[in-house]
Structure 1
Amino acid sequence: MDLWLKTGSFGQLPNNGDNNFAGKQENGISTSGLNHAKEVESVDKLDSDDPDQSNLDISISSVRSHEEVGDSAATETRKRRRKYNSDYIRYGFFWRGTPEAPRPLCLLCHKTLCNESLKPSILKRHLVKQHKESSRKPIEFFQEKCEKHKSHLKEGAPELIEPTVREHVTSESFRAALSIVKSGIGSSLVKPVAKKITKIVLEEKVKYEVENITLSSHTLKKRIAAMDENIKNQLVARLQQSKYFSLQLDEATVSGERTYLQCYVRYVFSGEVHNDFLFCRPLSKNATGETMFNVVDDFIIYNNLDWSQCVSICMDDAHAGTGRWRSLARHVQEIAPFAELTCCCFYHNELIKKSLPSYLITVLDEAARILNSIKERAPSSFVYGTLCDAMGGEHCKLPRHPEISWLLQGNILLRLFELRDEVQILFRKCDDLGDQVHSFQWLLKLAYLSDIINAVNQLKQALRGKGITVFQVQDQVKRTRAKLNMWHEYLDKGDFGPFPSCAEFLVTAEKELDDVAVKAFKDHVQSLCSELGEYFPEPNPCLEWIRNPFEDKKCIEMARNKLSSESFDSLTAMSADAELESLFWQSNLNSFWVKVQHKYPELAEVALRYLLPFPTAYSCEVGLSMLLSLDSETSNPLDLEPLMRLRLSDIEPEISKLVHQRGQCQS
């Protein structure tokens, strides 16, 4: 006690053998504890104005702090740190952190558990409950995952960890925005429905988690802009890597007021030829060819693309002869002299209209007037629907198409012809349209037009798709022309067998057909066959080796004069390569020539320059349909391009990257 009062702290008292502060106990109570209690009590009895009072308070707090440190150290000593066992890999777990205190890391969901969870039972429960589909996987499956994780860390990449709840919510917000754009469903409908479903099927608390996914119009617009920029950057990066690319341009007029310039690109990436949407920019009504060229040139320059990579620019044949497009072609050739200027091989509306004589165009015009007359007047439309139901008509609704060009698509004329009985009842013989509906000659021409348009539409359907090659187009056109020549021979005999609508009408009408109508139909069939020949000229026989360099040796001999001696020797060697022949039959034509670039670069360059130009206007037709639907949904023309890119592009947005960038901006 005297030592404590003099020094202000407990010191180690000398051990005389009689006093043992650690071991002696009386009645189960520690002697050192009793002595300590007495000493503290005596200190409490000291006068408060004692000069050494402050020193005593400091000493007491020091004693207590020493005791607390000792207790925590003892607790830390008693706490057991579990170690990672290599057998835990069978449950899909590796470890992260320090070797002294490792934490289990799930190799499937990258979730990190606490050190106390390093127990086989806990790890197995996590595998079975969270990853039931992988619980029966062999141990080699998890070992492969572990090796990939180790190599990922060796490359200096950040450690894979479980995304936070906020990142999950943001990712789902991006995916919901993408689905809304592609499906056209309103954002005001998606979220309330999702909340109701989760509340009914799951639990009440899940509804509040769905509430965190923001789908307001402002947020949706930001998500669309971010995904649009991400897809465009990916596309530009692909074009910069591609050795060649080709462009397709189309001028589209919407609602008779706004005009847009659509542009699509065809390029080589990852061993395949891809088609994608490039841009859609508004144009003024009086835009010149130079203005359209500047729109394309600004996009090329702004995105650091090279005109020398462009091998072809394709445009609509209906506009190719106009002054504006000639001016555009002249500007393109000045800056890209090696780019080939081609025309879209297939706009079936223009093809049919060019071959139609005046009397058939009159029938189309009158058919459009009949359709509009029914749809514009509510009583007529109601009576027409009632008649169809009463007479068992196959179609109860007629489309409204004020322009003749729309009648050339689908089966509109065929539907009108099949409903001729109902239309005849609706139109009395009181005006010119009523007279036409009841006229035998007019109905026969309508039946003939429906059969011819159906044949051309079959050709169009055969040429749909982004992977169509110029050889496939030529083959389909060749078959269609052979079919038309056969129909011409049938008409010479007075046989309408190839024309099902005409044959059915002649049987039901029980009237004889005059020679004038037969001759008119024959002339039109021959004119249509000639138009197809002008649209699709015969392929160059010197380039047939591109179609198949292994089968026909005559095609290889014909290419001798078109190829250099080195290229011809390479072609001869390629035709005898059994390994490449096996690759040819396993791949499509475009990807085959992309894959042989490293071995036969000169032959691949000639082939790709011939295959890369757009063979059809399929992309433009799909884009025009999308443009018409989106134009009615948005009032700002500048908002159309992001929406069209998200709907038409095959490139998926990198949502995880966008979420990461957004998190960095907020931090």
Structure 2
Amino acid sequence: MKRGLVSQQNMFKKATAQNEAAVKASYIVAEEIAKSTRSFNEGEFIKKIMLKVCDQVCPEKKQAFSNVSLSRNTIAERICDLATNLHDQLMEKGKDFVSFSLAVDESTDASDTAQLSVFIRGVDSKMCVTEELLGFKSMHGTTTGTDIFEEVCKCVTEINLPWDKLVGLTTDGAPAMSGKKNGLVGRMREKMREENCAGELSVYHCIIHQESLCAKALKMEHVMTTVTQVVNFIRAKGLNHREFKSFLEEFGSEHTDVPYHTEVRWLSRGKVLNRFFELREEICQFLQSKGKDTAELQEQKFMCELAFLSDIASHLDALNLQLQGRGRIITKMYSSVKAFKAKLC
């Protein structure tokens, strides 16, 4: 009877361990799907691939792989669980914050919906820095300073952060953000006064936005306008786009297409200019075949300006990448900008 009982217990433990491993694997796959912003249906496709690989590599383990649940609903639940867990972790860390700062940015997506992102950086008494996305809110109505302020307040309230520990606010410099009365900055300072906060709120203009604005001071709009018009002519119509790609293929070009330029994407300008310059001969020939005037594109002055702008845009993109990412300290970012200015001289 004892031997039978031990055998049953061992069987139960083994099944539990296998089940735990399958659940953990399911969470790992869900996390990767979420990070890569892929469809939740990808889980079922991944499972099919896993089982086929298992048939060839370790067929005896097929049942273990079959136990991993990767259906669409399961992936959705797993991602919600992960998000909740991250939120709980941030709340727990927030209790130990000595001070924290916020970074707020608002932009419009492809469906013309305003998306507000709020990032937090907090530090505890042991100088451990926590940097996380605090909230991502869709704003379907107006995006005034009051609207943005209300959404930011919700984010701060949701994780029970005290207002007297807020020391810094970084914005993109838009009037709705930086307005001293009705903007986000003005409303935040008013809120801190209402909460009887002793400290002063330090406000910064996002250094990446500053760098992007400074780049627009180049008197090269006529070059960028011409490039954008040509790219739009090629890409806007399906027939032109297909013919251009076929033309490049017949020409034996190293590149197969020219990308769009979008203002909202930081690095698109440099990529478009570089690709345009590399394909300048092919583009001229394609436009001539379409009966378009290419006199301006063949002028030596225009080509020199295009080459100059392409180079400068490449250097600006390199600087932009140095300013992005997690764990960036403002002193290092400022040093990167100073070094870039010295190199320009």
- The TM-score range, normalised by the shorter chain, is 0.7 to 0.9
1:203-247 Cα distance to aligned partner (Å, 9 max, x none): 25x333322222222222111111111111101111111111110
Change (3 A) 1:420 1:334: same
- 2:117 is aligned to 262
Please give the secondary structure, in 1, of the residue aligned with 2:30.
helix
User: Is residue 194 of structure 2 the alignment partner of residue 339 of structure 1?
Assistant: no
Matched letter for residue 435 of structure 1: A
- 2:186 is aligned to 330
- 2:325 is aligned to 465
In structure 1, what is the Cα distance between the partners aligned to 2:270 and 2:17? Answer: 51
Please give the secondary structure, in 1, of the residue aligned with 2:154.
helix
How far apart are 1:290 and its partner, in Å?
A: 1.6
Contact 2:270 2:310 in 1 (8 A): no
User: Is residue 145 of structure 2 the alignment partner of residue 289 of structure 1?
Assistant: yes
How far apart are 1:363 and its partner, in Å?
A: 2.0
User: Is residue 179 of structure 2 the alignment partner of residue 303 of structure 1?
Assistant: no
What TM-score do you get using the length of structure 1 for normalisation?
Answer: 0.45
- 1:181 is aligned to 34
Residue of 355, 362, 383 corresponding to 2:222: 362
Identity %: 25
1:154-210 Cα distance to aligned partner (Å, 9 max, x none): xxxxxx999543333322222221122223451231111111122222225x33332
Higher RCO by CA contacts (8 Å cutoff, separation 6 or greater): 1
For structure 2, the residue ranges without an aligned partner over 5 or more in a row are: 194-199
Residue of 376, 383, 394 corresponding to 2:254: 394
Residue of 279, 286, 307 corresponding to 1:447: 307
- 2:89 is aligned to 234
Matched letter for residue 397 of structure 1: D
Q: What is the aligned length? A: 329
1:531-557 Cα distance to aligned partner (Å, 9 max, x none): xxxxxxxxxxxxxxxxxxxxxxxxxxx
How far apart are 1:439 and its partner, in Å?
A: 2.7
How far apart are 1:422 and its partner, in Å?
A: 0.6
Contact 2:245 2:257 in 1 (8 A): yes
- 2:197 is aligned to none
Change (3 A) 1:168 1:275: same
Matched letter for residue 343 of structure 1: H
Change (3 A) 1:368 1:249: same
How far apart are 1:433 and its partner, in Å?
A: 5.3
- 1:199 is aligned to 55
- For the aligned residues, what is the CA RMSD? 3.2
Contact 1:423 1:437 in 2 (8 A): no
What TM-score do you get using the length of structure 2 for normalisation?
Answer: 0.83
1:130-162 Cα distance to aligned partner (Å, 9 max, x none): xxxxxxxxxxxxxxxxxxxxxxxxxxxxxx999
1:274-298 Cα distance to aligned partner (Å, 9 max, x none): 3211110111341321221111212
Change (3 A) 1:455 1:404: same
In structure 1, what is the Cα distance between the partners aligned to 2:24 and 2:181? Answer: 44
How far apart are 1:430 and its partner, in Å?
A: 7.4
User: Is residue 98 of structure 2 the alignment partner of residue 243 of structure 1?
Assistant: yes
In structure 1, what is the Cα distance between the partners aligned to 2:177 and 2:113? Answer: 22
In structure 2, what is the Cα distance between the partners aligned to 1:226 and 1:415? Answer: 43
Change (3 A) 1:363 1:409: closer
- 1:351 is aligned to 214
Please give the secondary structure, in 1, of the residue aligned with 2:26.
helix
Please give the secondary structure, in 2, of the residue aligned with 1:393.
coil
The aligned runs of 1:1-400 (5 Å cut-off) are 163-185=16-38, 186-203=42-59, 206-255=61-110, 257-269=112-124, 271-319=127-175, 323=179, 326-336=182-192, 338-347=200-209, 348-353=211-216, 355-357=217-219, 360-400=220-260
Q: Which moved more, 1:276-285 or 1:422-431?
A: 422-431
How far apart are 1:461 and its partner, in Å?
A: 2.7
Change (3 A) 1:369 1:252: same
Please give the secondary structure, in 1, of the residue aligned with 2:95.
helix
In structure 2, what is the Cα distance between the partners aligned to 1:433 and 1:232? Answer: 57
Change (3 A) 1:340 1:181: same
Q: Which has the larger radius of gyration?
A: 1
Please give the secondary structure, in 2, of the residue aligned with 1:261.
strand
